[in-house]
Amino acid sequence: MKVLVTGAGGFIGSHLAESLVEHGHEVTAFVRYNSKGDWGWLEKSKYVKEMNVVAGDIRDYDSVINAMNGKEVVFHLAALIGIPYSYISPLAYIRTNVEGTYNVLQSARELGIKKVVHTSTSEVYGTAQSVPISEEHPTNPQSPYAASKSGADFMALTYHRSFGLPVVVIRPFNTYGPRQSARAVIPTIITQLLAGKKKIKLGSLHPTRDLTYVKDTVAGFLKAGELTNINSNGQVINLGSNFEISIGNLANSIAEIMGLKVEFIADAERIRPAKSEVERLFADNSKAKRLLNWAPDYSLEKGLKETIDWLGKNMDIYKPDIYNV
């Protein structure tokens, strides 16, 4: 297929773009324009020469529609994702996540794109009201980031219902793995441990998360993008492990894998506002199994070991002494 990946220079996007190349697709990677001409994680990718890298801005309709022209499938991952920064600049999230998604959807409608795979987030559910969380669970975003993603999700579903646009909304739960930003909890824990810290600074230790290794998440995206899978059109589909673990227990598990004994402390700077903290995330992934024939292959221990190994080889790009907003 001729495919476009927006946000291709990012964490999940770069892994997805590479996997699409491995599966023989003709890949255009849409990365954010910058004066350095930097392509994010694709800079060092062994597959980048087999991609067409296009720089633009997801907020700019002209660059989006030009990049999408001639494509069959669009995987839309470009977004602002840091929750703490969304408290500082909510408008930036509206412009990128909501307006950017509109640009993709409207361009797809005008160009006759055969399928749009839109990326959501489990954060739109808020704290679990019932578990495991199915796609029928109410949306209750508790941060400006989650609100912007919820708005983008409903825009995508509306384009399917109003205009017949073939859209599937993929809702990953807490993806982790190589290349993830230190804004996320797992790289935060591991990089501090690798730096020799004895007291590891974290936010709240009691909330639970449903963690999915990035290779499993990418496998779900690939299945969702298959043109023969018409049953997924107009659907919201969770990608999660169907397993929850508290941040505190996760930190202890990582320390145990690394053979370290350390103390974990709650740092006030890293704790979300009380009504904004998502206390529990625990995915029901039965719909993904039914519609996509997808289930995660990686155990948490296996995924953590690969992540620890990668971070150990790339510590020079992380700043474990600094809290990344």
The size of the chain, in residues, is 325
Indicate if 203 and 141 belong to the same structural domain.
Answer: no
The pLDDT of 58-68, averaged and rounded, is 98
Reported pTM: 0.96
Say if 276 falls within a structural domain. yes
Say if 44 falls within a structural domain. yes
Indicate if 197 and 75 belong to the same structural domain.
Answer: no
Indicate if 40 and 135 belong to the same structural domain.
Answer: yes
Indicate if 133 and 202 belong to the same structural domain.
Answer: no
Report the C-alpha gap between 78 and 92 in whole angstroms. 13
Indicate if 27 and 150 belong to the same structural domain.
Answer: yes
Indicate if 225 and 264 belong to the same structural domain.
Answer: no
> For residue 221, what are the domain limits?
2-176+213-239
Report the C-alpha gap between 156 and 117 in whole angstroms. 9
291-308: per-residue pLDDT in tens?
999 999 999 999 999 999
Strand extents, DSSP E, the chain = 2-6, 26-32, 52-56, 73-76, 115-119, 167-172, 175-176, 199-202, 208-209, 212-213, 236-239, 245-246, 263-266
Give me the active site residues, please.
145
Say if 25 falls within a structural domain. yes
Say if 266 falls within a structural domain. yes
pLDDT of residue 125: 98
Indicate if 114 and 166 belong to the same structural domain.
Answer: yes
Say if 102 falls within a structural domain. yes
Indicate if 149 and 6 belong to the same structural domain.
Answer: yes
In 3D space, the residue among 79, 236, 228, 232 whose CA is nearest the CA of residue 157 turns out to be: 236
3-state SS record for 117-129: EEECCHHHHCCCC
Q: What is the CATH number of the domain that holds 221?
A: 3.40.50.720
Tracing tokens 């987030």 back to the chain, one arrives at: 121
Say if 325 falls within a structural domain. no
Indicate if 110 and 24 belong to the same structural domain.
Answer: yes
Indicate if 57 and 159 belong to the same structural domain.
Answer: yes
User: Which are the contacts of 251, defined by CB distance < 8 A and separation ≥ 6?
Assistant: 189, 200, 202, 205, 264
| Helix pair angle (247-257, 300-313), 10° resolution | 60
Indicate if 129 and 166 belong to the same structural domain.
Answer: yes
Task: Please state the domain count of the chain.
Answer: 2
224-281: per-residue pLDDT in tens?
999 999 999 999 999 999 999 999 999 999 999 999 988 888 787 788 887 889 999 9
Indicate if 93 and 170 belong to the same structural domain.
Answer: yes
Q: What is the CATH number of the domain that holds 199?
A: 3.90.25.10
